[in-house]
Amino acid sequence: MSAEATNPEAHPEARPELRRRGRTRLDLRRLGRAALLGPTSRDRLPDAIGHVAEAHRAHHPDADLSILRRAYLLAETSHRGQMRKSGEPYITHPLAVTLILAELGAETTTLTASLLHDTVEDTDVTLDQVRAEFGDEVCFIVDGVTKVEKIDYGAAAEPETFRKMLVATGNDVRVMSIKLADRLHNMRTLGVMRPEKQARIAKVTRDVLIPLAERLGVQALKTELEDLVFAILHPEEYESTRALIAAHAGERDPLPAIADAVRGVLRDAGIAAEVQVRPRHFVSVHRIARTRGELRGSDFGRILVLVGENADCYAVLGELHTCFTPVISEFKDFIATPKFNLYQSLHTAVATPEGYVAEVIVRTRQMHRVAEAGVVALGNPYATATPDATATSDATATATGTPDAATDPDEERVDPTRPGWLSRLLDWQQSAPDPDTFWTVLRAELAQDREITVFREDGSATGTISLPAGASCIDAAYAQHGEAAHGCIGARVNGRLTSLSSPLSDGDTVQLLLAQDASSGPAAEWLDHARTPAARIAISSWLEAHPDRAMATTSAARAPLSVVGARGGGGNAVADLPDATVRLAGCCTPVPPDAVAGFLVRGGAVTVHRIHCAAVAQMRAVGRTSVAVHWRATADCRVTLLAESFGRPHLLADLTEAIAREGVEVVSATVEPPVEQRVRHTYTLQLPDAAGLPALMRAMRDVPGVYDVRRA
């Protein structure tokens, strides 16, 4: 981009006789001359973008190319006189970027913005001019990939540029598509830079751009970027891998023969399929070599089988596993469970009679297109028309300057392709306090290479939450409730109570329990279990704002806290045995009007149990004498209740206050030491009326932090 635009007099290598470098896949010298000479006729496309037009028409036969001609003429005119450090006219860069996207199947609007992506940054063209000439769609995308001014941001310019770009990507994924293609072409021509600058750019590409390409599913760009970064940052390992591949090229490759055998099997089964041998790229070979040690001939590539329908994929799999020996541990079904970056395929491996093991990928042609191009293959995600009409409608909108209603610049557009990781990123970046924090956390977030989906259940709505693998209930709380998650006191996972630190698995159902107490806040130990940037930033901000109230919860053993009331007293049960002492069993604490049974025990006392208490069967089994028992006419009674809660300040006071409001007297109370932030309370209570027991238990359950109250 702007770093590539230079004064032609400052670089003698710009002279044609000194530019004797190897050609890239695009003939930049010929395109450069055509760019400087301009079109031969006003009625035809400039020769310099003939490659782009041809590649675009291969994917969009009915596309209107006139908008590309206008965009090219503006780009060529505005960049005229600028040269790249490699010596080519600068216009060759936007042309090369546009060709990369055209080969991936990008629609017309993306290609138009790609041709213009450096004009606002490096020339006198303004966004207003782009909007007036090409419409709001193109203007939005061009603005999204335009760097912020270094004079305004200084050292923070690079992270702030990425922040701006990612926010724009949240509204239009085509912004990042252009950025990835732009970085790929710059990496292809990075050899003219100083070694230290090559290393700096390669590290940013490795830490940020390659993970973004992976998440957007653009594997064609990701794999080439990986190889280019590998060559710069690990030159010795790159050379050894290159030598390994070169040595293999001189040996007999077993994969073509295996591919022929697969074709024969599928042909005999009547399955129409295209079978290819796909060589591994450099980084893939390097990883396999590190994992397997010495490589065999079949390790240098994979077999790709392309079919028409999803059902054909499974038919191919069945034939392969029938006619070859399958390696079951290598089977993965990414069709039934797609990756979070849209990727779908069946992966398997089969062993041949010769002892070779070949990895096989099975997918439909549409899956293959998405696997290679990711979001680029989806075209305009905001168009409601059919794919064939998309390019035409885009060209019409940009030519007239009238965007579609779905692209109103005053409203945030809902991108149906926006994945969960991007939504999370857009949420937490707003809370990142400074560029350094944003840059550090962004790299850490992108280092997470797997994602899980959990289902939420909060009593009023059920939906899904996308989280990185290894996320805990704390992460789910902040993803669902934002800063309100400061008051989270627990969670139920798949219906079972669990601590907030519990890790989540793909497909779990999570119910998060929030305190009603506005003073509640997170514990410092939550940071040990939070994996998402949103959760970590929110927790850290709260702890910094409340240093005196940081809840450093400890599970150190403490003696139970007991509170005993002044009053004792017996129950109001009467046994049909004169002068017998009656005791209410502590195991089931019967109260009127419970159905009860009495048994004579040692000392002549009668113990009263609820009729369904497990102790009743035991009493009868050991031959205890049964005694008839009934309730007195008085309504007061004594009962023991167990309250399960999450630990928090003032919980005991709030519970006893709730009990007092119901007019109930506390005879005794015991609070056990907390275990994983959970606390158990045992209360013996004297009720003035047994009929008030249900209301009392409801009042205790309503206390923030209490999740269960039951009879002892």
The answer to whether residues 124 and 74 touch, using CB atoms and an 8 Å cutoff, is no
Question: Does residue 294 sit in helix, strand or coil?
Answer: coil
Distance between CA atoms of residues 184 and 221, nearest Å: 7
Active-site residues, by number, are: 121-122
Residues pairing with 455 in the sheet: 464, 509
The answer to whether residues 677 and 500 touch, using CB atoms and an 8 Å cutoff, is yes
> 351: how many CB neighbours lie within 10 A of its CB?
14
Classify the C-alpha dihedral 90-91-95-98 as positive or negative: positive
Which one, of 676, 656, 672, lies nearest residue 664 by Cα?
656
Q: What are the φ/ψ torsions at residue 3 (nearest 5 degrees)?
A: -65, -15
Report CA-CA distances (Å) from 414 to 172, 382, 383, 423: 9, 8, 12, 11
Distance between CA atoms of residues 281 and 226, nearest Å: 9
Report CA-CA distances (Å) from 343 to 340, 346, 363, 414, 553: 7, 10, 10, 21, 43
Report CA-CA distances (Å) from 677 to 2, 75, 143: 55, 63, 49
Total count of residues recorded for the chain? 712
Distance between CA atoms of residues 299 and 290, nearest Å: 12
Strand-strand pairing, 357-364 and 301-307: parallel
Encoded tokens for 452? 């899980």
Distance between CA atoms of residues 648 and 563, nearest Å: 18
